[in-house]
Amino acid sequence: MGKTDRSVFTQHLGQNEALLPARHLNRTAGVDVHRRSATPALPAAGKDTRHCRHRRSWGPEEVVATHPRVACDDGAADHGRLVAPHTAGKPRERHRRHRPSPATGGPHSLMGCLRRIMAAALLALGLLACGGGTNSGAGPKDTVLVFARGSDSVGLDPALETDGESMKVCDNLYENLVTYAAGTTEVIPQLARSWDVGQDGRHWTFHLRTDVTFHDGTPFDAEAVLFSLGRQFFPDHPFHKPAAGTYSYWKDMGMDAVVADMSAVDDSTFVIELAEANAPFLSNLGMNFCAILSPTAVRRHGADYFKNPVGTGPFRFVEWRQDERIVLARNEQYWDRPADLDRLIFKYVQDPSVRYLELRSGAVHGMDNLSPEFIDAIRQDADLKLQTQPGMNVGYLAMNMERPPYDDVRVRRAVNHAVNKRSLVDNFYAGLAVPAINPIPPMMWSYHDGISGYEHDPRRARELLAEADLADGFDTELWVMTAPRPYMPQPGKIAQAIQADLAQVGIRARIVTLDWATYLDKVFDGQHGMCVLGWTGDNGDPDNFLYVLLDKTAAVKPAQNVAFYKSDVFHDLLVAARRSTDVAQRTRLYRRAQEIVHADAPWVPLVHATQTAAFRGDVKGFELHPTGSKWFRSVAFGP
């Protein structure tokens, strides 16, 4: 999909002009959702007026001690166990993290490939004993699917986690008031049947389903919604300050400034009052951090809830063997059509070569984040099938503007001219990427195709460095992640190529690699000079890129804005775009914002990568989604 894809733009245009799909909107007589009035000013800075005036009770603050779970017990009230849990008291990691195994000698090394393949077969036999189903090729119907991935999850509390591997599992455990339609970011109902919105765009009333229960047998109702969202919003909520981690997505999406109040009117009616109209608000409610979870389970497990998840989704939690696998089972009481699979296993296989070999052998049935070196082999293998989709993502090189010499725009522009992005795409992506110019991908509405980008021009880079009194170059550090990501399949090799490009203009960069969790902790704390990171969009709105990654409010440590870019003009444009429900106006504002960030050059936007996944030929029903979500409810085995 290119930057002139009118179908995507038209679809999103229609959606945002009315702010939500008309077929799901209950309009009150006389309400015009296209013309919203101005709203009252926000509370004075420093004054926190948030409190819950309508709640019945948060419930007891005490939590029941966690009891050992039975791994193979399919009873609805028993949600499984975590084997080898997180160390008590250890700080929680943020963003896209995993805990890598040793590079050699461990279970994820190439030397361990055969052992892992045999272990997978033994695992399938073990699942048979637990009632899970049959393994591929062992019977007329396969009901256990094993999906290989390069990182383990950090945790399974959707409000605390921001890493993609945690969200893959959460996608199948939890549901939201709204979700996204297959293949698009159109907002559609999920746990909310419908919703009303007031004329000024501030008063939202959600009418909830009444036929839904959580995996623990407790009812889904408005109080559960109030609990799930309220713990992130109300300072007096007993779970507002998690024992480990923070509600970072709520903060980074600016929800505290957007939401004024929320209340449970009755069992099936939930109301959110906004401080002012906010165009991305409904789309934001479809993101993982707004998933609805069982209040009973949170009260029971307390700080250990992240490893004892209870939602309403098509699968329920069974077991987590850390750095090995997470096992889910079909939710037999699911309110919609139940999943076809009996069991779904997310298997941690760090080495991409091992993942590919296990897919070929049938030890696993699917994998994502493919190494480009295996793409052609998968295409030519009659037993496998490849799925691709333009990625709603960006991989970028951020320069820490709080550290000299990156506080000088001439240096930042010099770095942009030094990096050969076309060479990166050709050598490390097997053609499954495009060089990036802007922070948002070309498939997204409001993309500015009038910006030419910085040409690869080492001579111009050296001139700019000389103008900045750095004719002899300078020494710096280039930080890079160790784990492959959807936007960065070979991070180490890409870092080496960038290092070589920088050396040609006199910038002597020492590559720094740390384990993923430590790397991100230090990057979010601003300890880097330059760092390689990336982002996969959550909801199809430009706000989810520009505001979260580059606004000055996101530069507060621990920061998602790892360039620590702070532009008042850029910020004002983003805030104005958030307040407007006119897509044409929002497009103009976002295009101007892209011009400003291009001139200020806090990043080198590197690539927009194609999403990839591969499956055994008998796996049916899986579809890639623009948000990167991995939904398995409709996946089955068949001819």
What is the arithmetic mean of pLDDT over 277-305?
97
Burial class (CB in 10 A: 0-12, 13-18, 19+), 513: middle
What is the arithmetic mean of pLDDT over 380-394?
96
Q: Is the pLDDT of residue 79 over 50?
A: no
Q: Is the pLDDT of residue 230 over 90?
A: yes
Domain boundaries, the chain: 50-59+176-295, 81-172+299-386+613-637, 393-609
Residue with tokens 């009252």: 40
144 — alpha (psi -120 to 50), left (phi > 0) or beta?
beta
d(CA 491, CA 343): 33
- CATH superfamily label, 50-59+176-295: Dipeptide-binding Protein; Domain 1 (3.90.76.10)
- Map 182-220 to HEC letters: CCCCCEEECCEEEEEECCCCCEEEEEECCCCECCCCCEC
Residue 589 backbone phi and psi in degrees, to 5: -65, -45
Report the b/e string of 320-344 with b at 16+ CB within 10 A. Answer: bbbbbbbbbbbbeebbeeebbbbbb
What is the arithmetic mean of pLDDT over 309-334?
98
Q: What percent of the chain has pLDDT over 70?
A: 78
Is the domain 81-172+299-386+613-637 a CATH 3.40.50.10260 member? no
What is the arithmetic mean of pLDDT over 415-420?
99
Mind listing the pLDDT tens digit for each residue in 155-208? 999 999 988 899 999 999 999 999 999 999 999 999 999 999 999 999 999 999
Give 634's DSSP letter. T
Mind listing the pLDDT tens digit for each residue in 489-546? 899 999 999 999 999 999 999 999 987 778 888 999 999 999 999 999 999 999 999 9
Mind listing the pLDDT tens digit for each residue in 139-163? 445 599 999 998 899 899 999 998 8
Give the least confident one: 64-73, 304-313, 354-363, 428-437.
Answer: 64-73
- Tell me what pLDDT residue 125 has: 40
What is the CATH T-level fold of the domain 393-609, as seen in this structure?
A: Dipeptide-binding Protein; domain 3 (3.10.105)
Task: Answer with the residue of higher pLDDT: 51 or 389.
Answer: 389
Mean pLDDT of the chain: 83
Give the least confident one: 12-26, 363-377, 382-396, 616-630.
Answer: 12-26
